[in-house]
Chains A and B, each alone.
Chain A
Amino acid sequence: MTLTKVDNPTTEARSATTFSLGHAAIGLVVLVLAIAAVTTDAFLTQTNLTNLLKQMVTTGLLAYGMLVVILTGGIDLSVGSVVAFAGILTAGLSSGLPLPVAMLVGIASGVLFGLVNGTLVARFELAPFVVTLAALTTIRGLAFVYSDVPIAPEDESFFWLGSAMLGPIPLTTVIMLAVFLVGGVFLHRTPAGRSIVAIGGNAETVRLAGISVRKHVLLAYTISGFCAGLAGVILASRVGIAQPSVGVAFELDAIAACVIGGASLAGGKGSAAATLGGVLVLALINNLLNLYNVQSFWQQVLKGLIIIAVILVHRASRRRT
């Protein structure tokens, strides 16, 4: 008899932790999709699906940025306000500047806010919750300071980004998916991404291994700021009007998407693919409840219950392994 080296199946399964994290979310997506397709005619229409794809873009972009921050063990509460600021700044500037420039400035404002948050957290070692809570109110205020009335650009080209289609798929959805694709590779395959995950697991170990914790934490908040800026510009373009009051509580949906995707708020655990699954779950639930004409208050209740349910499933599946 010859002895062959056989890989232990249980460890093989464990090595795929990032995928198993997403199982619950993906299972839920499939379930909700099936219910949707079977029970209502309105779901599988071109209009509804396009709407669905467009609506998930904002939460999706915010959720990816949030995931990166959450992985370090932090939180970014300011993203909803950044959405409003980036949107209204872009809309305001678009009357005087070429549109692409205005959009880039809008996104850059998000990056800047991210840098400030990151500096306060990484360099001055302030608590992420407090820093970004302060940023939430400060940036919201700045959005109103810039314009306390909505700005509706008249130039048609302003709407292009938010309404363009690539075949059957909205351009903005493609952008979001690209962010998740590139972002997934960043988190799971680059030294910086791995460092960010490791920092959430044990920052001191990482620091003593000769990796700058500060730089990576700063990078995480900057990425979140970038995503929020981008989301703000896209949202303003899709809606066709920029409001200083938009985006209130968006950060909560972003956090919810991460959590549904199995990310741990303590840091160090979570994956881009699973977070995308979380985004889909939230979008589908909203969409379905709208199709069923469920009152929006009940939508909130249901969303909360689903988050709890998903976390319980995660917990149970982790116990088993």
Chain B
Amino acid sequence: MRRTKLLELKAVHKAYAGVEVLHGVDLTGDRGEVIGVVGANGAGKSTLIKILAGAETMTAGELLIDGTQTRPGSPHDAHQHGIRTVYQELTLAPELTVTENLLLGRFPRKRGLIDWRAAHEQTKTLLDDIGFTSINPRQKAGRLSVAKQQMVEIAKALVAKPRVLVLDEPSAVLAGSDLDALFALIRRLQQQDTLVIYISHRLVEVLELATQIVVMKDGAVIATTIPAQTDEDELIRLMAGRRLEQIYPDRRAATDQPALVTKNLARDNEFRDVDLTIHKGEILGLFGLVGSGRTELAHCLFGATRPDHGWIELGGTPHTFKTPQDAIAAGLALVTEDRKGSGIVPDLTVRENVALTTLYATTRGGLVDQKAQRTAVQAMVDRLDIRPAHCATMPVVRLSGGNQQKAVLAKWLLKKPRVLILDEPTRGVDMATRVAIYRMVDELARSGVAVLLISSDLTEVLGATDRVLVMREGRIAGELRSEGATEDQVLAYSIGRAA
């Protein structure tokens, strides 16, 4: 007897303004399944999610829930059908508490007024139930770390007890125990007969969690498989036509000439006693869990904040950076972890975004030298293979995440930095773009640039670097040569269990 599946997509097509981006996608998932969806940027994953979420409507095709045809026309519709989606972008109201964010519209009442005590208790129970015990219901959402906010987003989706939960890159900002909590949660949902659709660039996770893996490429499903029958290598090959060992370039360009040195650098409540040296031609990894102080350190090195103690030396001379301008003048560049918040100006064109760092340097008679700007930016677009090739006049926000990141990188390359700080440069970025970024960074290092690569991706922080520093609770807790080091060693330092 054929039981009807919980969710079925049949020959789903989607076109924007006549351009088809999904060419007949089929997807079937049942209760208790975890479908891992993988694919390079532009493969159509986001569009697929939006259709499931009711944020976009399909041009042709069918969506069946329990065998009944539906077509969610709005997110509200999708909710009615038991489909909840957690996007990469955070949507919490920052000034409201966790409780308010979670229970908005369904507060417990007493004599017509909100019963806050009950509300907070209800939230606490809810968070405990799903294993997110470290979140305080009374905290304002905006005060939480990005990782905790992501967890609240997931909790918010679960309040309505969905039958289908779509998670778009949920682990991009999670690490350590938070990630464990997420995995445990997904397994529990599975037991409760929820269908989880898990979109991730981290193939290891997908292989660990999924009961079914769907590989998308160029708007179509090109393979459906199960973890037991595949491995990371094959998935990468399917997605991008590349082998795992080809991802990270061989490292060995480091010199012993210090480019940037910090002495006892500290900022109250953020980090302390930071003594680090980045050499010319070196890619220095900096690993740390969320809250370890790594991003704060990066901002301080770049003059975005000022140190309370200690100082920075460049080429042997002490420097005080009062503003990012000072740091940039001294040859520093920073690609921040928050692309949307501090990496791009969304509505400006790619050209203007890339030209931002050199805006005041590219003038003729007091006016922006448009011709020079155009030439310089196009050269960068070509060099970094930012797509589409004619993107210079497009608003940057219309590019895919990976290409936006390349544009941010291009902005700094135009400035020809001597010290390049990259904070999570591959977060939410597809494999092909990652490889391109690693290559570019390697090339820069070979030309003598000192690179600080901050990452919470263990494979990356070991694979793409010469040396790794591990931060824990605001201090440098350990140092390892990347070659021969294991992920366990790095993790051990980061949680304070190193021998």
Contacts and interface: CB of A to CB of B under 8 A. Distances in A.
Interface of A: 7-8, 10-12, 14-15, 17, 185, 189-191, 194-195, 197-198, 201-202, 204-212, 268-269
B367 A189 contact: yes
A290 to B, nearest CB: 38
A211 B345 contact: no
Contact of A269 (B347, B352, B357, B394): B347
Residue in A8, A195, A212 with the greatest tally of chain B CB atoms within 10 Å? A8
Interface stretch (B47-55, B79-87, B321-329): B321-329
Given A14-B394, A194-B352, 10 more contacts: A11-B394, A12-B393, A14-B395, A198-B352, A201-B347, A204-B341, A205-B342, A205-B345, A210-B328, A212-B325
Contacts of B17: 10
Contacts of A195: 359
Contact of B345 (A11, A190, A212, A268): A268
B367 A205 contact: no
A211 B360 contact: yes
Nearest to A195: B359
Contacts of A201: 345-348
Chain A interface SS verdict (over half): helix
A191 B356 CA distance: 9
A204 B360 contact: no
A154 B240 CA distance: 82
A207 to B, nearest CB: 6
A194 B359 contact: yes
Contacts of B395: 14, 17
B15 interface: no
Contact of A185 (B323, B363, B367): B367
B393 to A, nearest CB: 4
Interface string B303-347: 010000000000000000001110111000010100001111111
A85 B469 CA distance: 62
B379 interface: no
Contacts of B252: none
A11 B393 contact: yes
Contacts of B346: 201-202
A185 B304 CA distance: 31
Contact of B367 (A7, A17, A190, A198): A190
Contacts of B336: 208
Contact of A208 (B334, B349, B393, B394): B334
Leading 9 A-B pairs by shortest Cβ distance: A15-B393, A201-B345, A210-B328, A204-B342, A209-B356, A202-B345, A210-B325, A189-B367, A191-B360
Contact of A202 (B344, B349, B390, B393): B344
Nearest to B19: A10
Residue in A204, A205, A269 with the greatest tally of chain B CB atoms within 10 Å? A205
Contacts of A14: 393-395
B415 to A, nearest CB: 8
B344 A194 contact: no
B13 interface: no
Residue in A201, A206, A210 with the greatest tally of chain B CB atoms within 10 Å? A210
Residue in A190, A194, A208, A212 with the greatest tally of chain B CB atoms within 10 Å? A208
Nearest to A8: B390
Interface in B282-313: 302, 304
B417 to A, nearest CB: 11
Contact of B390 (A11, A205, A269): A11
B368 A190 contact: yes
Contacts of A206: 345, 356
Contacts of B393: 11-12, 14-15
Contact of A268 (B341, B347, B356): B347
Contacts of A212: 323, 325
Contact of B356 (A15, A189, A198): A198
B222 to A, nearest CB: 27
A211 B352 CA distance: 14
B347 A208 contact: no
B358 to A, nearest CB: 9
A11 B109 CA distance: 53
Contacts of A17: 395
A269 B329 CA distance: 30
17 contacts: A7-B390, A8-B388, A15-B393, A17-B395, A191-B360, A194-B359, A194-B368, A202-B341, A202-B344, A202-B345, A204-B342, A206-B356, A208-B304, A209-B324, A210-B329, A268-B348, A269-B347
B368 to A, nearest CB: 6
A15 B304 CA distance: 32
A15 B349 contact: yes
Interface string B81-123: 0000000000000000000000000000000000000000000
Contact of A210 (B324, B348, B363): B324
A194 B373 CA distance: 13
A169 B119 CA distance: 68
Nearest to A209: B356
Contacts of B362: 191
B357 A209 contact: yes
A38 to B, nearest CB: 38
Nearest to A207: B324
Nearest to A16: B393
Contacts of B325: 210-212
